[in-house]
Structure 1
Amino acid sequence: MERIVFAVLAVLAAFPTLIQAQAATFYLPETETQFSLNVANDTDNGDLFFRFTSPAYSWVSIGFGKSMKDSLMFIMYPSEDGKTVTVSPRLSTSNSEPSFYPDTQLDLLPGTTITSDGMFVVEAVCHYCRVWPNGALDTESTAQPMIYAFGPGRRIMSNDKNAALKRHHKYGRFTMDMLQARGPGGVPGPESKLNGVTLEGGMKKDHDRMNRAHAVVGCLAIFVLWPVNVVLAGFFKKMKFHVAASVLLLVFLLVAYLLGGLTSAEYNRSKSHRTPHQITAYLTLLPLFLTALLPIPPISRLSSFTPRLHTPLVSSTFVLLVLSGGLGLHLAMQSRPIILIYTAVALIVFAFCFLLQTCIRRRGSAHQRSRAGHEDEQGLMGLKARFAGEHRSRSRAESVESCESGTSSGNGKGVFGGGTMPGPQYLLNMHPGVPVHRW
C-alpha cells in the first residue's frame, strides 16, 4: 500500500499540471508576462487566487475594469530589500495615479519572490475582492474587461503600499472569460499561452507629454531666454529689445506654471500642492510680478529708490526658479545623471549672468550710457547757445554805445561805420569796427 501511495505522489510531482487549479490565463510573449486567475467557487468570501510573473520593471500592474477610472488594480514593485514583491491594491477615480485601497484583504503566499534572473513571481489570494467602490467583478461574464501596465525601467524599492509611482511606460487591454476561471480555489501554476483571454490590440507606448512640456518650457525660459535678456539689457541701446524679450520670458514662465498645475493633478504626491517644488514655485511669483510691475510709470515714479529694486528682484527670481526646477526633478523621480546635468547647467548660467550683471553695474548699460551722452550733448549745446546769446547781446550794446558816443562828440561831426562794421572811410582807417570820423 505504501508503495502505491509513493508512486502516486511521484507521478503528481512529475506532472504538476495535473493538480493545478482551474484558471483563465493572460500571457504576453514579448515580456513573458503571465497573469492566471482562479475564481474560487467553494468559498463564502469570494476568494480570488492568482499567479503573476513578469520582468522586474519599476512596477507592473493588473486591473479589473475598462480603464484606470474606478478599476481595482494590483500594483507590484520590489520590496525595500529587493528580495520579495510588494503588492498594493489600489483604486483610481480618474486617469491618474491610483491610491492604496486598504479595504482589500490580500495575502501573499510562500511562492512570492524575485528570482535570480530578475523576474517578479507573485502567488496570492485576495479576500472580498469582487466588489469595490464604483465597480465589481462580474464572475458570470465571458468577456470581463481587464487592463495591464508596465512602469519605466528605473526601480521603486519600497514596502510602502502607497509608494509614489512614475507614469506607466506601456499599457494594454484584454478580456477574460470568468467562466473559464471558476473552479475549486487554488493558486494557478505556470503557463505560457492564452487561456480564456482575448487581447484587444497590442501593447501601447505611453507618452507623458504634459510633464515633459512643463520641464522643457521651464528650462528654455531659465537657461536660454533669461541670459539672452540680460545681454539685450546690457549691450543694446534700444530698450524695446529688452522689453520684448522680457514679455516673451514671462509668457514662457506662465505656460510652464500652467502645465505644472495640470500635471500636479495626475499624481498623489502633488495633488495637495504642498511639495517643496510647488511651494518654491509659488514663492517665485512674488518677485517675478514685482519685477514686471516696476517699469509702469506710476510705480517707477514713486521714489528715486524704486528703480534700484530691479536688480535684486531679478536675481532673487532667477535663484528661486532654478531651485524650484531642481526640486521638480526630484519630485518627478528623475535619475541622478539628469539631476547632475541640470545642476551643472544651472551653475554655468548663474555664473554667466552674475559676471554680466557685475560688468553692467560698473560700466552702466548701453542704454544708460547712450542716454547720459545724449544729455551731456544737450547740455553742451545749451551752454553754447547761452554764450552765443550773451555775445550777441554784448556786441549790440557796444555798437549802440559807440553810435551814441560818436554822434555827440566834437563840433557836431557825424560818425560812420559805428559798431563792428567798417565805415565809408575804410581805406583811410584800415581797421574795421573802429569808428571813422568825418573831416
Structure 2
Amino acid sequence: MRSFSTLSRLSLAVSAALSLFTTSTQAQDVNTTLSNATAGSVFVSPPRDLAFALNVPSDSTTDLYFSLMFPEGTSWAAVGLGSDRMAGALILLAYPSESGQNVTFSPRIASGHSEPVFTPEIKVEALEGTGLDNGTFIFNGRCTNCRSWSDGKGKIDVASKSQNMIYATGDTSTLKSDSFDAPLRMHYNYGTFTLDMAHATGPAGVPAIDRSENSTLIATTQGLSKEGKKDVAAIMHAIIMVFVFVGLYPFGIFVLHLGSWVRWHGINQGFALILTIIGSSLGFSISKYYNRSKKVNSAHQVIGILIFIFIFAQFTLGFLHHRTFKKTQQTTKMAPIHVWMGRVIIVMGVINGFLGFPLAQASQYNYVLAGLVLFLFPAMMLVLVTKKFIQKRWNKSKNEPAGYNLEPWNQPNGQAGQGNNPQQPMGQNVSIPAASTYMPYHAQAKGGLGPQQNTREYV
C-alpha cells in the first residue's frame, strides 16, 4: 500500500510538473508572439510604395533585424539609417533580382546627393520570408554591424526615441539585377522620418509588418515627403542634344542646299552651337551624381567630348572660309574640310544619342530617337531631290527651241512665217523682191474684164 501510495504521489508530481512546463511554454510563446508583433517600429511611406520595420535585439550589442517591402512596379526601395540627409547615411537598398522572383539586397553608403556606393563591409544575412510574395518584394534580414559604420563616423543611437531616418524609392523603370552595385536612376519619391529605437527593442527576430491597406505607422513619425521627383538636368540634356543633332545641324545643311541661304545657314549653326554648349554643360554636371558616369570613361562621354571639340573647330573653319570668300569671291581649301567635318559630326552625334539612353537607364527612348532619324532625314533628302529634279526640268524647258509655228499668219509686223527674224529666208534671191511686196492685181482698168466680182454671186 505504501509503495502504491508513493508511486501515485510520484505520478501526480510528474503530471503537475509537465502541466506547469506546458503552461510556461505556452505563455512564453504568447509573449514571443506579442513581442514580435510589437517589439518593432514600423514605417510606411505616404504613397505606400515602401514599408520598413526595425527590431533591436535586447540580447545583442551589434545586431539589427529588419524587414523591407516594396510592391512590383517600383524599381528599388531604400532606407537610410542614422541621418536626415544622404551624406554619411547607411543605405539599406533592395531591388528585384535578374529573374524578377527574388530580391537583391545592396548595403551602400552615401557621400552626398549622389548615388550611394556598394559597401561590402556591411554584413547582411537574408532570412526566411525573403522573396516575391503576392506582388510584393520582401527582404527580411539580419545585419551584424549596422549600428556603426565608416569607422564610427556614422552610427545610430539604439536608446533614441526619435532616431533620424531617410527613405527613397525609384520610378517604374524595369531594374532587375543580381549585381550588388547595379546602377540606379534618381529616386522618384523620397522623404524623412524618425523612429523610436526604444520601442523597437525586444527579443531578437524580424518584426512583422501589417500588409493591409489600413496599416498604420508604429512608433515612427513622418517628416519630409516628396513625390514625383525627376532628374530635370538629365532630361533637358537629352532633349537639347537630340534637338541639336537630329534637328538644327541637319536643318542648317538643308537650307544651304535648298536655297543657298548662307546667312540663315550661319545663324542656324551659331544657335545650334549655343545649345550644344548648354546641353554639354548639363551632361558634365549630372555625370558626378551617378556611379556609372563619375569616372567619365563611358563610350557616350568620350564621344561626346570629341564632338564638343570638333564643333568648335567646325564653326571656326566655316567662319574663316566665309570671310575669305567675301573678299576674294573664290572658294578656299577650308571649304571641303568644313563640309565633311559637319557630316561626320552629325553622324557621331546621332550615334552618341543611341549610346546615351542606355547609360541613363532609359533604353526605351532609343525607339523615339530612331523614329525621328528615320522620318526627318529622309524627309529632308526627299525635298532636296525633288527640288533638284524640278530645277533641272525648268532649266531644260528654258533652253529648248521654239519649234514650228502652226499659224504663221498671226505673226506681228507683217512678218508672217518669219517669226521675229527680219532677214530673208535662205535660198531667196536678193535681187527679186519678196512675194509679200507684190500688190494683188485688180482688173479695174478700161477694157478690162470688168469690176471685181463677189464670190457670193457665183453661188
**TM-score, normalised by the number of residues in structure 2:** 0.71
Q: Which residue of 2 aligns with 1:288?
A: 311
Q: Which residue of 1 aligns with 2:415?
A: none
Candidates 206, 209, 214, aligned match of 1:190: 209
Alignment partners' CA distance in 2, 1:205 and 1:98: 20
Alignment partners' CA distance in 2, 1:342 and 1:148: 34
Candidates 3, 23, 40, aligned match of 2:40: 23
Q: Which residue of 2 aligns with 1:43?
A: 60
Q: Name the SS for the 2:268 alignment partner.
A: helix
What is the CA-CA distance between 1:15 and the residue it aligns to?
Answer: 9.6
Q: Which blocks of at least 5 consecutive residues in structure 1 are unaligned?
A: 365-439
1:230 lines up with 2:253 in the alignment: yes
Contact 1:83/1:114 (CA < 8 Å) preserved in 2?
yes
* 1:23-172 superposed matches below 5 A: 23-28=40-45, 30-31=47-48, 33-44=50-61, 46-56=62-72, 57-64=74-81, 65-115=83-133, 117-133=134-150, 134-172=153-191
Q: Name the SS for the 1:263 alignment partner.
A: helix
What is the CA-CA distance between 1:287 and the residue it aligns to?
Answer: 3.3
* 1:341-356 superposed matches below 5 A: 341-354=368-381
What is the CA-CA distance between 1:17 and the residue it aligns to?
Answer: 3.6
What is the CA-CA distance between 1:329 and the residue it aligns to?
Answer: 0.8
Contact 2:318/2:338 (CA < 8 Å) preserved in 1?
no
What is the CA-CA distance between 1:51 and the residue it aligns to?
Answer: 1.6
1:305 counterpart letter in structure 2: K
Q: Which blocks of at least 5 consecutive residues in structure 2 are unaligned?
A: 1-14, 326-330, 392-459
Alignment partners' CA distance in 1, 2:160 and 2:20: 42
1:323 lines up with 2:342 in the alignment: no
* 1:234-245 superposed matches below 5 A: 234-245=257-268
Alignment partners' CA distance in 2, 1:31 and 1:41: 30
Determine what percentage of the aligned residue pairs are the same residue. Answer: 28
1:350 counterpart letter in structure 2: F
What is the CA-CA distance between 1:79 and the residue it aligns to?
Answer: 1.3
Contact 2:35/2:203 (CA < 8 Å) preserved in 1?
no
Alignment partners' CA distance in 1, 2:333 and 2:388: 16
Contact 1:234/1:360 (CA < 8 Å) preserved in 2?
no
* 1:190-269 superposed matches below 5 A: 190-191=209-210, 192-269=215-292
Alignment partners' CA distance in 2, 1:248 and 1:27: 49
2:66 counterpart letter in structure 1: F
* 1:333-344 superposed matches below 5 A: 333-336=361-364, 338-344=365-371
- Output one character per residue of 1:215-269: Cα deviation in whole Å (capped at 9) or x when no partner: 1111221233223322332234552222111110111111111001111111100
Q: Which residue of 2 aligns with 1:389?
A: none
1:172 counterpart letter in structure 2: G
Contact 1:17/1:189 (CA < 8 Å) preserved in 2?
no
1:79 counterpart letter in structure 2: S
Q: Name the SS for the 1:256 alignment partner.
A: helix
- Output one character per residue of 1:292-330: Cα deviation in whole Å (capped at 9) or x when no partner: 111343898699432122221111000000011111111
**TM-score, normalised by the number of residues in structure 1:** 0.75
Alignment partners' CA distance in 2, 1:136 and 1:170: 25
Alignment partners' CA distance in 2, 1:177 and 1:19: 15
Quickly say closer, same or farther: Cα 1:327–1:238, change in 2 above 3 A: closer
Alignment partners' CA distance in 2, 1:42 and 1:9: 20
Contact 1:12/1:18 (CA < 8 Å) preserved in 2?
no
Q: Name the SS for the 1:206 alignment partner.
A: coil
What is the CA-CA distance between 1:354 and the residue it aligns to?
Answer: 5.0
Q: Name the SS for the 2:138 alignment partner.
A: strand
Instruction: Give the aligned length.
Output: 362
Q: Name the SS for the 1:179 alignment partner.
A: coil
